A and B are shown apart, each in its own frame.
Chain A
Amino acid sequence: MKFQSQKIAYWFFASAMLLLVLQIVYGFIMGFARIGMDGLHDFIPFNTARAVHTNLLVVWLLLGFMGSAYFIIPEEADRELKWPKLAWVQLISFLVVGVVAVIGYHINWWEGRKFLEIPRSLDYLVVVNVLAFIANIGVTIWQGKRHTTTSIVLFFGLFTAALLYLPGMIDFDNQTLDSFYRWWVVHLWVEGVWELIMGSLLCYLLIKLTGVDREIVEKWLYVIVGFTFLSGILGTGHHYYYIGAPKYWLMIGGIFSALEPLAFLGMAIYALAMAKKGGRRHPNKAALNWTLGSAIMSFVGAGFLGFAHTLPQVNMYTHGTLVTAMHGHMAFWGAYAMINLAMIAYVLPVLTGRKLWDNAASAYAFWLSNIGMTAMTGALAVAGITQVNLERRMGMDFLAVQKEIEIHFVGMILAACLFFLGICFYLYNFWRFGLPTNEAAHSDVRREEELPASAESAA
């Protein structure tokens, strides 16, 4: 840690971890409801659990991104954060809005649009909050001593993410247009500008962990995010096949979303190549694991599994089935959850000056959660494919099919237990790091950070 104001990142990460646990709890509620154990139905019906599960995911990922930005931007701009107190206000108000929304979902107060369930009046608060965040990091970059590609791509990603929230707030009487603009938010976030954020976080971590020259890492960052937008923007069309939009989206969406895996493949190859190229052996094994893991799992989950049902001929039968849930779980885990966990694993030693980066708990956390998530995705895949065949291709009734695939949710719950165990190990390590300290700036961690970098420039 170089600057005092970077410490705020810790509190963003801690809040994110809390919400992650809550997200998993609501996931379990849904899993049990699916095997008929729906005793909570009167208090937490499925639509409540589902809205809480997906919204908490978005909120904790955003908290992670914001925390990462508050850590990275001062370092990259080489100055203190412009308004550290505003960051605190922003964190607390963001959490309050989140908590109010979650409570609202339990008393049937929401907007009821997939992924954007948060009630309209709270939408405005989110906008104000995010504006404060953008202003804070924007001015810090502007007045910084250094302007790096990493910080600019990160800022550009966060800024456009904020901008793209707005189309989701337009009101339509026509369900088709409603859906059309809802995807401007949801798709262009997760398959567009969030990938800029992910790319820049990946880039920052690779620079720090592998010691490869910044110029090279950043050059390839441009190429990767270039491919992301090249495929991802028109790839939005894969949401427009069957919602009442013109037929040309079948071709445009089909072609461009088929290219989307290439961007993810590029990202995975890029991360692995940089790690191999880098001469530096950074002692933070956990952070390197999560970083490379994120690049690989995002290719598998978002790229490969997304491609599995993105062609219009296939999507005709998989659209609106559990196949989507299968892809969604691993995509979000690989691309966004893991990059956040990588950032946290990298940042905590720097903030606290403690070196819990190569212990048993961090290894268990990585492997158990990844194996658990892979198994969950497998269970959802079997359930989804069975549903597609029985319901969509043979014409069996929905509920009869659900009964047939119930057993796969037992498997899913078991896999989720393994996953949760991994997360518990991660949280245990998080807890052991303790709070950020001012002395961390002069600790071993800091020195180990700096030494190889100077050795590299000498070489």
Chain B
Amino acid sequence: MANTELWFCISNLNSFAAVLTKLQAKVFFLGGTAVFFGIFLVLSFDTHLKVPDQTREKDITPAVSAGKRIWEQNNCMGCHTLFGEGAYYAPELTKVVERRGKDWIRVFIKDPQAMFPGQRKMVKYNFSEQDIENVIAFLDWCGKVDLNGFPADPPLRQALQTIGTPVAASSGPAPLKKPVPAVFTTASCIGCHQIQGQGGAAGALIGAPPLDDVFRRYDREKLITWVKDPQKIKPGTKMPSLYGVAVNDAQLNEIADYLMSLNPAVAAPTVPAPVSTPAPAPATQPK
């Protein structure tokens, strides 16, 4: 190539002034390209040296690597984004382990449509338990990489919360404030329902109500029946059947105990506890 370029320059010496400016233009192009590509190479080299620390490369276990292969072999980036890269059809997954918790992902990935019935679909992959653990390990590692502040905390969220928090639809005694037990995360309730002001992001769209005042609508027994088979009580509901999948009997009891304990009437024994709270028909509950 250098030969032909040189030949080309010499062959055009017929018009001195024109060649000079064209030569200058050419020198500008070749020189500029060489200089800036040189700078780019130096910076890339430096980046290559710094990335292991910034990304905690020592934490890349065989499980993380295996998870990355699964991520690629199924083209997860064709819908999701990771580090903000990918398609924009499904949620950003960089911080998904922090946001949802590992248990939630374990349940969700086995049957995505069961968790979000009637909504945008995800392919149901037949991952083995090991595959799922590997994917979670990979996403967990991704969530701990220093991304220079990405994804940023939504700057307007705080401002919006002071404007007005959602008020429970029905009237009655205000529910008590109590720390939320871990079971609500492991059983994945908190993904859709808001409890004590936490969670509820995924359910806002499908009308999953906050659970703090559930004692006004259900007694303990009815609540358990509802969780066990939502479709039976309210056909067509968006509530997934998680009993036997994410929730076992012990967990269900724990959930029911906690939700009933939010009733101030039960908690404060000075007022005689109502024998049975009138439970409205399921159809009238907030949709």
Residues of chain A having any CB pair with chain B under 8 Å: 30, 33-34, 36, 38, 41, 45-48, 50-51, 105, 108, 110-114, 117, 141-142, 147-149, 152, 155-156, 173-180, 215, 218-220, 222-223, 225-226, 229-230, 233-234, 236, 240-250, 252, 316-317, 319-322, 324-325, 387, 391-400, 402-403
Q: How far is the CA of A163 from the CA of B88 in the complex (A)?
A: 30
Q: How far is the CA of A331 from the CA of B39 in the complex (A)?
A: 27
Q: A230-B36, A316-B152, A398-B92 are in contact. Are A114 and B86 (CB under 8 A)?
A: yes
Residues of chain B having any CB pair with chain A under 8 Å: 1, 4-5, 7-8, 11-12, 15, 18, 21-22, 25-26, 28-29, 32-33, 36-37, 39-40, 43-44, 46-48, 50-52, 54-55, 57, 60, 64-65, 68, 71-79, 81-92, 116, 119-121, 123, 138, 142, 145-157, 160, 201-202, 204-205
**10 further A-B pairs in the complex, CB-CB below 8 A; given A152-B4, A241-B148:** A50-B87, A114-B86, A173-B65, A176-B83, A222-B22, A242-B149, A320-B81, A322-B88, A394-B156, A395-B153
Q: How far is the CA of A223 from the CA of B24 in the complex (A)?
A: 9
Q: Which of B39, B50, B72, B85 contacts A111 (CB 8 A)?
A: B72
Q: A234-B40, A394-B157 are in contact. Are A399 and B78 (CB under 8 A)?
A: no
Q: How far is the CA of A393 from the CA of B156 in the complex (A)?
A: 5
Which residues from A are CB-within-8-Å of B157? 394-395
Q: A47-B75, A112-B72, A112-B73 are in contact. Are A245 and B54 (CB under 8 A)?
A: yes
Q: How distant is B123 from chain A, measured CB to nearest CB, in Å?
A: 5
Q: How distant is A151 from chain B, measured CB to nearest CB, in Å?
A: 9
Cβ B75 vs Cβ A112 within 8 A: yes
Q: A233-B37, A399-B120 are in contact. Are A50 and B25 (CB under 8 A)?
A: no
Cβ B83 vs Cβ A243 within 8 A: yes
User: Can you list the 8 inter-chain pairs with the closest CB atoms, starting with the nearest?
Assistant: A47-B78, A320-B84, A395-B154, A242-B150, A222-B25, A112-B72, A395-B157, A226-B29
Q: A234-B36, A243-B147, A398-B92 are in contact. Are A112 and B71 (CB under 8 A)?
A: yes
Cβ A47 vs Cβ B85 within 8 A: no
Which residues from A are CB-within-8-Å of B149? 242, 316
Q: How far is the CA of A110 from the CA of B69 in the complex (A)?
A: 11
Q: How far is the CA of A317 from the CA of B84 in the complex (A)?
A: 10
Q: How distant is B222 from chain A, measured CB to nearest CB, in Å?
A: 29
Q: Which residue of A lies closest to B4 (CB)?
A: A147
Which residues from B are CB-within-8-Å of A33? 89
Q: Which of A48, A241, A246, A398 contacts B78 (CB 8 A)?
A: A48
Which residues from A are CB-within-8-Å of B1? 152, 155-156
Which residues from B are CB-within-8-Å of A319? 84, 150
Q: How far is the CA of A426 from the CA of B10 in the complex (A)?
A: 43
Which residues from A are CB-within-8-Å of B81? 320
Cβ B202 vs Cβ A397 within 8 A: yes
Q: A47-B76, A173-B65 are in contact. Are A250 and B148 (CB under 8 A)?
A: yes
Q: How far is the CA of A247 from the CA of B150 in the complex (A)?
A: 12
Cβ A175 vs Cβ B92 within 8 A: no
Q: How distant is A109 from chain B, measured CB to nearest CB, in Å?
A: 9
Q: A149-B8, A234-B39, A242-B84 are in contact. Are A225 and B29 (CB under 8 A)?
A: yes
Q: How distant is B90 from chain A, measured CB to nearest CB, in Å?
A: 8
Q: Which residue of B lies closest to A248 (CB)?
A: B43
Q: A179-B85, A397-B205 are in contact. Are A242 and B148 (CB under 8 A)?
A: yes
Q: How far is the CA of A219 from the CA of B121 in the complex (A)?
A: 54
Which residues from B are CB-within-8-Å of A111? 72
Q: Which of B4, B73, B82 contacts A141 (CB 8 A)?
A: B4
Which residues from B are CB-within-8-Å of A114? 77, 85-87
Which residues from A are CB-within-8-Å of B51? 174, 176-177, 180, 244-246
Q: How distant is B99 from chain A, measured CB to nearest CB, in Å?
A: 10
Q: Which of B11, B91, B150 contacts A316 (CB 8 A)?
A: B150
Cβ B205 vs Cβ A399 within 8 A: yes
Cβ A47 vs Cβ B88 within 8 A: no
Cβ B145 vs Cβ A244 within 8 A: yes
Which residues from B are CB-within-8-Å of A147? 4, 7-8, 11
Q: How far is the CA of A226 from the CA of B51 in the complex (A)?
A: 31
Q: How far is the CA of A153 from the CA of B252 in the complex (A)?
A: 70
Q: How far is the CA of A68 from the CA of B60 in the complex (A)?
A: 46
Q: How far is the CA of A178 from the CA of B69 in the complex (A)?
A: 12
Which residues from B are CB-within-8-Å of A230? 32-33, 36
Q: How distant is A305 from chain B, measured CB to nearest CB, in Å?
A: 16
Q: Which of A148, A229, A252, A395 contacts B43 (CB 8 A)?
A: A252
Q: Which of A173, A218, A226, A252 contacts B60 (CB 8 A)?
A: A173
Q: How far is the CA of A150 from the CA of B204 in the complex (A)?
A: 58
Cβ A176 vs Cβ B145 within 8 A: yes
Which of A222, A249, A316 has the most chain B CB atoms inside 10 A of its CB?
A: A222
Which of B39, B60, B89 has the most chain A CB atoms inside 10 A of its CB?
A: B89
Q: Which residue of B lies closest to A177 (CB)?
A: B51
Cβ B78 vs Cβ A34 within 8 A: no
Q: How far is the CA of A21 from the CA of B85 in the complex (A)?
A: 27
Cβ B88 vs Cβ A317 within 8 A: no
Q: How far is the CA of A400 from the CA of B200 in the complex (A)?
A: 11
Cβ B75 vs Cβ A321 within 8 A: no
Which residues from A are CB-within-8-Å of B48? 177, 180
Q: How distant is B193 from chain A, measured CB to nearest CB, in Å?
A: 13
Q: How distant is B126 from chain A, measured CB to nearest CB, in Å?
A: 11
Which residues from A are CB-within-8-Å of B123? 41, 45, 47
Q: How far is the CA of A399 from the CA of B51 in the complex (A)?
A: 33
Q: How distant is A373 from chain B, measured CB to nearest CB, in Å?
A: 19
Query: Can you give 21 contacting A-B residue pairs, CB < 8 Å?
Result: A33-B89, A45-B78, A46-B90, A47-B79, A112-B74, A114-B77, A147-B4, A156-B1, A215-B15, A215-B18, A219-B25, A223-B28, A226-B28, A243-B83, A244-B145, A244-B147, A249-B43, A395-B156, A398-B92, A399-B119, A399-B205
